[in-house]
Structure 1
Amino acid sequence: MSAVLDTPAPPGPGPAETFGQTLARLGGAQKGALGAPAYSRFVNRRMGRFLAAAAYHAGLTPNAVTGISAAFSATGIALLALVAPSWPLGVAVAACLVVGYALDSADGQLARLRGGGSPAGEWLDHMVDAAKASSLHLAVAIGLYRFGDLDARAWLLVPLAYCVVDGVLYFGTMLNDALRAQHGVPIRSQQRGERAGVLRSLLVLPTDYGLLCCVFVLLGAPALFLSVYTLLLVAMTAFLALASVKWFREMGRLPR
């Protein structure tokens, strides 16, 4: 999930800059890849780069891109809660969420392309991310309750548990960055000196929001979707448990 920084810079590119030149500039304005899961690192950021370049040439601000991202994500979430599961619905939900996530990357890239931004823009981006992370799983619970042919209502606990785990993980990540910044320690997205290993990106793939977006294409086979969705919850819960121990130790090493 990217941090958007809105900026008062001129709304569009210079008259001589081509789309390809804008993409090239964006290539040098990327966040560090350390700790980034595979989909976010290798797919979403590249999609976001193209969308950021398009938004730049269209004269959009980062906050406008954040708003468009929120609209796509909200549409996918609403469909989950309001429409009975089917293959076409799965494709529509996944498409909305994937585009929304790519635009979530684009807003931060656009801000860096324009030279920086404001705390208000970053606040807006994180608020949208927090609302999206919680409401997505609640929409899954509503959809299961309304349309699911479940042998045991206990399955409804899966999206509720996912909502809690996702919320704690998101808050913990933001809190870690805030405490590191407060004590003058670079956050992960600023650590460019360390090599970001591909293996680590693959190992943390189950925690990737982008992978979760893609899983919704399975809505046409509810039992399969619920099985994969539950496995992702188990993997994220295990990651959170291990990461929490590591983070606590790291916070303990920060200067008083």
Structure 2
Amino acid sequence: MDVTTRSFTEAVRALGVAQKSNRGAPLYSRLVNRPLGRILAAAAHQVGLSPNQVTGVSACFTFTGIALVAMVPPSPAMAAVIAVLLVIGYGLDSADGQLARLLGRGSPAGEWLDHVCDSLKTATIHLAVVVSLYRFADLPTDLLLVVPLAYSALDTTLFFAFILTERLRKPSGPRLATADSSRPSVLRAMLSAPTDYGILCLVFFTLAWPHVFLVAYGVMLLGTAGYALLALPKWYRDVSRLREGA
């Protein structure tokens, strides 16, 4: 069937077959974000959006949420609005790649645009938290502002290292894969949960209560730091073996 004539239900079904492997994917991405992205990709297909246009819509939701973090006092209602904007933006971030697979239009330019938006999001969301805490939170000490600053540095480094490692492992670029029939590790997915941007989005529901937010946010930071301590040496060893075999 011509992909341009598929109904919403047919598109959702087709996307369910042509999924990226769940191997190594954090639990939120696997259970929530990819299924949400599938629905959003099918809806985007129905209204005739291209994958790059979906990336643009994703950026609008995400950066609106990030701007609100920095600019608006975090009432409970506003915290909910911010979290929902971030969750939808992340769902659309999954949808652009899924739509590209559905249409057979994966391209280096689309991948570049997606990664540039992701890198900007990774850095600015933590800087927005710094601004929000400084402007609106009654912190016992300004030293707590180091927490989001450290998170920004760590998250940016981890994101860049992951992308670079994957690129060096596959010099010709990542391939679009169909669903992996093997069972992915649930334990691995749970251990990588602190690095999952989707869970970070949910933490923003607590932004109206700075002390609760800082505890949840700090736990995410510590979990991400632990993951980095395990992952970065492994990625370095992987890359070293590739160089030795070249």
Question: Per the shorter chain, which TM-score range?
Answer: over 0.9
Task: Check conservation: 1:177, 1:187, Cα contact below 8 A.
Answer: no
Residue 117 of structure 1, CA deviation: 2.2
Q: Per-residue CA shift, 1:148-187, capped at 9, x if unaligned?
A: 11111000000100000100110011001110012x7978
Aligned partner of 1:165 in structure 2 is 154
Q: Check if 1:53 corresponds to 2:39.
A: no
Deviation at residue 253 of structure 1 after TM alignment? 1.7
- The answer to whether 1:221 aligns with 2:237 is no
- Alignment match, 2:139: 150
- 1:35 and 1:188 in contact (8 A); partners too: no
Query: What runs of 5+ residues in structure 2 fail to find an aligned partner?
Result: none
Alignment partners' CA distance in 2, 1:211 and 1:67: 22
Structure 2 counterpart of 1:30: 19
Taking structure 2 as the reference length, the TM-score comes to 0.94
Aligned to 2:230: 242
> Given the alignment of the two structures, is residue 115 of structure 1 paired with residue 104 of structure 2, yes or no?
yes
Which sections of structure 1, spanning at least 5 residues, go unmatched?
A: 1-9
CA displacement, residues 65-103 of structure 1 (integer Å, 9 cap, x when unaligned) = 000000000110010001112211110110000000000
Q: 1:231 pairs with 216, 219, 235, which one? A: 219
Contact kept? 2:167, 2:174, Cα under 8 Å? no
Query: Amino acid of the residue matched to residue 218 of structure 2?
Result: T
**Distance (Å, rounded) in 1 between the aligned partners of 2:109 and 2:16:** 25
Question: 2:51 matched to 1:62?
Answer: yes
Contact 2:19/2:178 (CA < 8 Å) preserved in 1?
A: no
Answer yes or no: is the 8 Å Cα contact 1:94–1:213 preserved in 2.
Answer: yes
Counterpart CA distance in 1 for 2:175 and 2:48 is 30
Aligned to 2:190: 202
Query: Secondary structure, in 3 states, of the residue corresponding to 1:237?
Result: helix
> Corresponding residue for 1:7?
none
When residues 172 and 188 of structure 1 are mapped into structure 2, their CA distance, relative to the original with a 3 A threshold, is: farther
How high is the TM-score relative to the length of structure 1? Answer: 0.90
Matched pairs, number: 243
Matched letter for residue 131 of structure 2 = I
The answer for the alignment partner of 1:212 in structure 2 is 200
Q: Aligned residue for 2:63?
A: 74
* Percent of paired sites with the same residue: 49
CA RMSD of aligned residues (A): 2.0
Bigger helix share: 2
Opposite residue 250 of structure 1, the aligned amino acid is D
Question: Which residues in structure 2 correspond to 1:99-110 (within 5 Å)?
Answer: 99-110=88-99
Cα shift at 1:200: 1.4
Of residues 4, 26, 33, the one that matches 1:13 is 4
Structure 1 residues 219 and 45: CA distance shift in structure 2, 3 A? same
Q: Is the 8 A contact 1:23 1:49 kept in 2?
A: yes
C-alpha contact (below 8 Å) 1:44/1:210 kept by paired residues: yes
2: CA distance between counterparts of 1:119 and 1:186? 10
Match for 2:225: what amino acid? T
The letter of the residue matching 1:204 is S
Poorly superposed stretches of 4+, deviation over 6 Å: 184-191
1:170-189 equivalences in 2 (<5 Å): 170-182=159-171
C-alpha contact 1:98 1:213 (8 A) present in aligned 2: yes
Letter aligned with residue 18 of structure 1: S
Where does 1:79-90 land on structure 2 (aligned, <5 Å)?
79-90=68-79
Shift of the alpha carbon at 1:191? 9.4
